[in-house]
Amino acid sequence: IPVRDRPEQLGRLLTSLEGMAAVVVDDGSSNAAATKKMADRHHAVFIGSAVNVGPSSARNAGLAAANTPLIAFVDSDCVPTPGWLEPLLGHFDDPMVAAVAPRIVPAPVERPSPLSRYEEVNSSLDRGPAGGLVRPLSRIPYVPSAALVVRREVAVDRLFDPRLRGGEDVDLVWRLVDAGWDVRYEPSGIVEHQGPQTLAGFVSRRAFYGSTAAPLSARHPA
């Protein structure tokens, strides 16, 4: 779980993961003590970084601390719903499956707004109700790393490219496919995501997503 300045959201996530071994990587929070306190409360392993290294490096640090054959990466602004994991795990019976992603939907809000209603039908993280293989230029060209289960053996020393501050999930999927692995999208597993709550935050986030196109194009010109 990579996290920066979100102790309360981290607490909600860790509560939903009760009973699972968790590694929390603090990515340069202004109050890392609050993150550590929350991790300790839920008996999660805590790894702290004095500076912000980005989500790729934070996830890689968590990966290095884990020793299970399957690892679930879940962002701190997400909350998995009950039963989310089981449909994903079944895909790993296929030895060629490297990663499986659940469906990520906007978290419900108490007072719907035009922004929340737009996100319900046009979320950039929601890959839709139909599952299948994830491949470039296909119906499901990528899946987000906000929630993603990965087979440990596909990572030699690192999984995500630390040079990428965004688009690292798309890059990962395309590299796995290039290497001959399968990546699958399983929408029967549901994870809720709390996105920006203001129009300014929403526009800033979408602009950031757009800025990842050029680095991805340089790495994957086809």
- Residues 171-205 have pLDDT tens digits of 999 999 999 999 999 999 999 999 888 899 889 98
Distance CA 58, CA 88 (A): 23
Whether 27 has a pLDDT exceeding 90, the answer reads: yes
pLDDT at 205: 87
Q: Which amino acid is at 165?
A: R
Q: Which of 106, 77, 60 is nearest to 13 (CA)?
A: 77
- 43-76 pLDDT, tens digit each: 999 999 889 889 999 999 999 999 899 999 999 9
Give the up-direction half-sphere exposure of residue 52: CA atoms within 13 A in the CB hemisphere.
8
If one counts every other C-beta atom within 10 angstroms of the C-beta of residue 50, the result is: 8
Tokens (6 digits) for 194: 């709390």
- In angstroms and rounded to an integer, the radius of gyration of the C-alpha atoms of the chain is 17
- 105-149 pLDDT, tens digit each: 999 888 888 888 888 888 989 999 999 999 999 999 999 999 999
Q: What is the DSSP string of 109-128?
A: -SS--HHHHHHHHH-SS---
Tokens (6 digits) for 23: 């590694």
Answer yes or no: are the C-beta atoms of 120 and 193 closer than 8 Å.
no
Answer yes or no: are the C-beta atoms of 97 and 198 closer than 8 Å.
no
Answer yes or no: are the C-beta atoms of 1 and 62 closer than 8 Å.
yes
User: What pTM value is reported for the model?
Assistant: 0.92
Whether 10 has a pLDDT exceeding 80, the answer reads: yes
